[in-house]
Structure 1
Amino acid sequence: MPKSRIRKKDDYTPPPAKQAKQPTSIKLTNRSWVAPVMLALFLIGLAWIVVFYVTDTKLPIESLGNFNILVGFAFIAAGFGVSTQWK
């Protein structure tokens, strides 16, 4: 049976050196507003629901009735939405 040819591997040649790229005007955003707004929305939503229950459905807006709970949870959900911007 004939013997197969042996393939010689090429010597390792490192890739050409990459030139260091200078960063092109990186725009850093200051998101210091996120935490206060998030906490404020959480507290407003919580206060809205608590006031609704403590005042026996007379406040904050009597004409909304039980939808006041939905408004309170909407504030809380908005707080969670703002929290996605926090870094």
Structure 2
Amino acid sequence: MPKSKVRKKADYTIDPASRTPVKVKAAPSSTLYLSVMFGFMVLGLVYLIVYYLAQDNISWMASLGAYNLLIGFGFWIIGLVLTMKWR
């Protein structure tokens, strides 16, 4: 059986006009942003701890019932969502 000829490949060169521009990195997040982000996470954690330790002693917290978990985890999740924009 005869051998097939190997085709020569053309050298691949990048056209400088077709290159995509490189994005410039954004500046780091401000101290205020970090304070708010960590503040929400700590606030959610502290709220849940206070709920578990003193739910019978604080009347408005006892009346909320299971919504206290929603409030505590809500603060915590807001802090976690803010971490997505943190640089």
Give me the whole-angstrom Cα distance separating, in 2, the residues matched to 1:76 and 1:52: 14
Q: Which residue of 2 aligns with 1:61?
A: 61
Return closer, same or farther for 1:59/1:31 CA change in 2, 3 Å cut-off: farther
Q: Please report how far the alpha carbon of residue 30 of structure 1 lies from its aligned counterpart in structure 2 after TM superposition.
A: 5.3
Mapping for residues 13-52 of structure 1, pairs under 5 Å = 32-33=29-30, 34-52=33-51
TM-score using structure 2 length: 0.59
- Point out 4+ residue stretches in structure 1 off by more than 6 angstroms: none
Please say if residues 52 and 59 of structure 1, whose CA atoms lie closer than 8 Å, have aligned partners that are also in contact.
no
TM-score using structure 1 length: 0.59
| SS of match in other structure, 2:85 | coil
| 1:9-60 superposed Cα distances (whole Å, 9 cap, x missing partner) | xxxxxxxxx9xxxxxxxxx865534321111011000000000011034366
Unaligned runs of at least 5 residues, structure 1: 1-17, 19-27
Q: Which residue of 2 aligns with 1:79?
A: 79
Give me the whole-angstrom Cα distance separating, in 2, the residues matched to 1:85 and 1:30: 12
Identity %: 28
Q: Indicate the structure with greater helix content.
A: 2
Q: RMSD over aligned Cα, in angstroms?
A: 3.3
Unaligned runs of at least 5 residues, structure 2: 1-14, 16-24
Please say if residues 55 and 62 of structure 2, whose CA atoms lie closer than 8 Å, have aligned partners that are also in contact.
no
Please say which structure displays the higher CA radius of gyration: 1
